[in-house]
Structure 1
């Protein structure tokens, strides 16, 4: 089983969504939603300080030993020197036991720690990174995920649920 996570912020509140699925699934097996009041303020260059506590609210509800990997919307590393971004920080918090996969829609420099993949008919790549699991294998699995567009169906569903205000508390 895999877990994909996303967070949507509104002022000092956050909606955190996790979806559980298998690589071949078209739709999530389960959806977990948490609302958090008083999230940390955004500090440029230290986004993980705001995001990690939110992600942990979902992770703490699960037996992470049953997870093959966790997918985050972002990068594992912030530079070619392998300084940790959100994904790397999460890997550290989880004691380097659970593989983390970063799937990002943008990159911010010539990053040697990612693989670009193009899905569907899109000319825009997804930027895949990984820690604790082979990047080439993960990139192929993301490429093969269900859906004919740039973003795999599961990750698109996650994004829609996260941003859907009708699910507000």
Structure 2
């Protein structure tokens, strides 16, 4: 099973959500999971914000999940030099065995056009970074995900679940 994970931090608490799916073009989740986290540390100014990492790990442990791939909104690498982002830390926390794909609606200064994916003609591109999977394969799979809008349907569902909107 593949998982899309999302974390919503609200003050000192957070909600982590996961949407399980099998086929990349799936319109509906196979199953959904939610985990409430009672305490989240404050972000440290000037440092990479890794507050979501323990939340995702707790979600995986709490529900006994062993995904074949994890997709999330964010960055695996922060630039073309592969400066580690949240996704690289997640990949390492999973023993380097589970591919991690990060998708963002905004770019970063160090990311070139090779990280861009167009899902609809007139919308701005999405930015894809990954670990444990080829960038070309990750982009092709993201491009083929269900949904006619810029952000795939199941990614929107994961974000809504994390924000308690479903």
TM-score, normalising length: structure 1: 0.89
Structure 1 partner of 2:17? 17
Once residues 89 and 70 of structure 2 are traced to their aligned partners in structure 1, the CA distance between those partners, rounded to angstroms, is: 13
Instruction: State the secondary structure of the residue aligned to 1:102.
Output: strand
TM-score, normalising length: structure 2: 0.91
Instruction: State the secondary structure of the residue aligned to 1:83.
Output: coil
Mapping of residues 102-113 of structure 1, within 5 Å: 102-112=102-112
1:96 aligns with 2:96: yes
After TM superposition, the runs of 4+ consecutive aligned structure 1 residues lying more than 3 A away are: none
Once residues 12 and 129 of structure 2 are traced to their aligned partners in structure 1, the CA distance between those partners, rounded to angstroms, is: 29
Please, what is the CA RMSD of the aligned residues? 1.7
76-85 or 90-99, larger mean C-alpha shift: 76-85
Structure 1 partner of 2:59? 58
Gapped regions of structure 1 (runs ≥ 5):
none
Once residues 113 and 98 of structure 1 are traced to their aligned partners in structure 2, the CA distance between those partners, rounded to angstroms, is: 25
Number of corresponding residues: 163
Q: Determine if contact 1:3/1:69 at 8 Å carries over to the other structure.
A: yes
Larger relative CO (CA 8 A, sep 6+): 1 or 2? 2
Gapped regions of structure 2 (runs ≥ 5):
none
